[in-house]
Amino acid sequence: MQVFLQTFIGGVSLGAIYALVAMGFSLVFRTMGLVNFSHGNVVMIGAYIASTFYLSAKLPFALAMAVAIVVTGLIGVFIERVLRPLENKDFDLMLIGTIGFGIVLEAVAIIIWGATGTAVPNPVAVAPVQVFGLRVRTYDLVVLAIATAATLLLVFFLQRTKRGAAMQAVAMDHEAATAVGIHVGRSNAIAFMLGAALAALAGGLVGPLLYVNPSMGGTLGIKGFAGAILGGFGSIPGAIVGGIAIGVLDAFAAGHFQGYSELVTFVVFTVIIMIRPTGIFGERTVNRA
Amino acid sequence: MKLRVAGGRSLRSRVAGTVALAACAWLLPYRLDTYMIHVANVVILFAILAVGLGLVMGIAGQINLAQIAFAGVAAYATAILTTRAGFGFWTAALLAILIASAMGLLVGMPALRMQSHYLGIVTLGLALAFTNWVTNAHVAGGAEGISGIPAPELPFVDLRNDYFFYYVELIVFAVTLAFGLFVVHTPLGRKMRAMRDDSLAAGAVGVEVPQLRMTAFLLSSVYGGVAGVFYAGLIRYVAPETFSIANMFLLLAMVIIGGRQSLVGCVVGAVALSLLREVLVDYPTYAQVAYGSIVVLTVVFVPTGLAGLPKRGRALLRRIGWLRSERGVVPRLGAFRPYAEEPPRNRGNILRLADVTMRFRGLTALQDVSLEVAAGEIRGIVGPNGSGKTTLFNVVSGLYRPTSGRVLLGERDMTGLRPHVLARHGVARTFQNLRLFPLLSVRENVLVALDQTSVLGAWRYAVWQPGVWRHNRALRAQADELLDRFGLTAFADSAPGELPYGTQRRVEIARAMARRPRILLLDEPAAGLNGDEVRELRDITRSIRSSGVTVVIIEHNMGLVMSLCERVTVFASGRIIADGTPAEVARSPQVVEAYLGDSAMSEDVPTEASR
More confident residue, B531 or A2: B531
DSSP classification of residue B489: G
Q: What is the pLDDT of residue B600?
A: 44
A112 in reach of chain B (CB within 8 A):
no
Q: How many CA atoms lie within 13 A of B152 on its CB side?
A: 22
User: Is B432 a residue whose pLDDT tops 80?
Assistant: yes
Q: A96 and B129: CB-CB below 8 Å? A: no
| Host H or E run for residue B523 | strand B519-523
B518, amino acid identity: R
Report the interhelical angle of A61-83 vs A39-55 (nearest 10°): 150
Q: What is the pLDDT of residue B181?
A: 93
pLDDT, tens only, B258-283: 888 889 999 999 999 888 888 888 88
Q: How far is B317 from chain A (nearest CA, A)?
A: 25
Position with higher pLDDT, A32 vs B47: B47
Over residues B224-257, the pLDDT tens digits come to 999 999 999 888 888 888 888 888 888 988 998 8
> Which residues of B make CB contacts under 8 Å with A?
61, 63, 109-110, 113-114, 116-118, 120-122, 124-126, 128-129, 132-133, 135-136, 200, 245, 249, 252-253, 256, 285-286, 288-289, 291-296, 298-300, 303
A-B Cβ pairs (cutoff 8 Å, strict): 127
Q: Residue A154: what residue type?
A: L
Q: Minimal CA–CA distance to B286: which of A270, A71, A112?
A: A112
Query: Given this model, what pLDDT does residue B359 score?
Result: 85
Q: What 8-state DSSP symbol labels residue B59?
A: I
Judge whether residue A160 has pLDDT over 90: no
Chain A residues with CB-CB distance to B286 below 8 A: 107, 111
User: What is the DSSP annotation of B222-238?
Assistant: HHHHHHHHHHHHHH-EE
pLDDT above 90 for B222: yes
- Contacts of residue B109, defined as CB under 8 A and 6 or more positions apart, other chains included, come to A274, B214
Q: Give A74-88 pLDDT, tens digit per residue.
A: 998 898 888 888 877
Chain B within 8 Å of A179 (Cβ-Cβ)?
no
Residues of chain A found within 8 Å of residue B296, distances taken between Cβ atoms: 82-83, 97, 100-101, 104
Q: What is the DSSP letter of A105?
A: H
Look at residue B596 in the predicted model and tell me its pLDDT: 63
Which architecture, in CATH terms, is A2-275? Orthogonal Bundle (1.10)
Closest CA to B278 of B39, B601, B94, B522: B39
* Residue B3 in this model has a pLDDT that exceeds 50: no
Nearest chain A residue to B292, by CA: A100
Nearest residue to A34 via CA among A74, A69, A79: A79
pLDDT of residue B182: 92
Q: Residue B408 forms beta bridges with which residues?
A: B352, B413
Chain B residues with CB inside 8 Å of A269's CB? 125
B117: nearest CB among A95, A105, A261 = A95
SS3 sequence of B311-343 = HHHHHHHHHCCCCCCCCCCCCCCCCCCCCCCCC
Q: Which of A13-17, A151-155, B359-363, B598-602 has the lowest average pLDDT? A: B598-602
For B89, residues 6+ apart whose C-beta sits below 8 A from its C-beta are: B78, B82, B149, B150, B151, B152, B153, B233
* Every domain of chain A and the residues it spans: 2-275
List, for residues B300-356, the tens digit of each pLDDT value: 888 888 888 888 888 888 887 776 666 556 777 877 888 877 777 767 788 888 888
pLDDT for position B350: 85
Q: Which of B41, B68, B74, B47 is nearest to B228 (CA)?
A: B74
Helix, strand, coil proportions of chain B in percent (round to 5)?
60, 10, 30
**Whole-Å CA distances, B155 to B9, B87, B96:** 42, 18, 22
Helices within B137-197 (DSSP H only):
162-185, 187-197
Q: Per-residue pLDDT for B601 more than 80? A: no
> Which of B248, B285, B286, B294 to mutate against chain A (most A CBs within 10 Å)?
B285
Instruction: Give Cα separations from B283 to A107, B41, B290 (angstroms).
Output: 11, 22, 11
Nearest to A96 among B109, B128, B299 (CB): B299
**Mean pLDDT confidence for B204-217:** 89
Q: Do A90 and B109 touch (CB under 8 A)?
A: no
Nearest by Cα to A131 from A16, A259, A261, A5: A5
Which residue from B minimizes the CA distance to A226?
B121
pLDDT digits (tens, 9 = 90+) for A194-236: 889 999 889 888 888 888 888 888 888 888 888 888 888 778 8
B509, burial (CB in 10 Å: exposed 0-12, middle 13-18, buried 19+): buried
C-alpha radius of gyration, chain B, whole number: 29
pLDDT average, residue stretch B539-559: 88
The pLDDT value recorded for residue A142 is 83
Among B114, B253, B285, select the one facing A111 at the smallest CB separation: B285
Q: Which residue of B has its CA nearest to A279?
A: B118
Predicted confidence (pLDDT) per residue in A35-53, tens digit: 888 898 999 999 999 888 8
pLDDT band at A282 (very low <50, low <70, confident <90, very high): low
Residue A125 predicted with pLDDT over 60: yes
Tell me how far apart the alpha carbons of residues B190 and B328 are, in angstroms, rounded to a whole number. 30
Q: How many CA atoms lie within 13 A of B543 on its CB side?
A: 16
pLDDT digits over B172-193, tens only? 999 999 999 999 998 899 999 9
Q: Is the pLDDT of residue B132 over 50?
A: yes
Provide the CA B132 distance to its chain's centre, in angstroms.
33
Binned at pLDDT 50, 70 and 90, residue B607 comes out as very low
Half-sphere exposure of B586 (CA within 13 A, CB side): 17
- Give the confidence band of B602 by pLDDT, cuts at 50, 70, 90: very low
Rounded Cα distance, B541 and B462, in Å: 42
Nearest to B227 by CA among B86, B50, B422: B50
Residue of A nearest to B288 (CA): A107
Closest CA to A288 of A170, A169, A166, A173: A173
Name the least confident of A229-243, B91-105, B536-550: A229-243
Q: What was the pLDDT predicted at B178? A: 92
**Mean pLDDT (whole number) for B382-406:** 86
Over residues A237-244, mean pLDDT? 88
* Spatial separation of the C-alpha atoms in residues A207 and A146, rounded to whole Å: 14
The DSSP secondary-structure symbol of B490 reads: G
- The predicted pLDDT at position B445 comes to 92
Spell out the domains of chain B, with CATH numbers in brackets: 40-312 (1.10.3470), 344-426+517-611 (3.40.50.300)
Cα–Cα distances in Å, from A267 out to A263, B12, B110, B576?
Answer: 6, 51, 12, 50
Mean of all residue pLDDT scores within chain B: 85
- Note the ipTM here: 0.85
pLDDT of res. B98: 94
pLDDT of residue B219: 93
A106:B288 CB<8 A:
yes
- Beta strands A118-119 and A211-212 are antiparallel
The pLDDT of residue B226 is 95
> CA–CA separation, A277 vs B556, rounded Å?
38
- Alpha-carbon gap, residue B138 to A210, rounded angstroms: 26
Model confidence pLDDT, tens digit, residues A86-104: 877 777 788 889 989 999 9
Residue B257: closest CA among A96, A167, A134: A96
| C-alpha to C-alpha distance for A146 and A141, rounded to whole angstroms | 9
Planar angle of CA B80, B82, B88, nearest 5 degrees? 150
Strands A134-136 and A129-131: antiparallel
Mean pLDDT of chain A: 83
Q: Are A224 and A40 in contact (CB under 8 A)?
A: yes
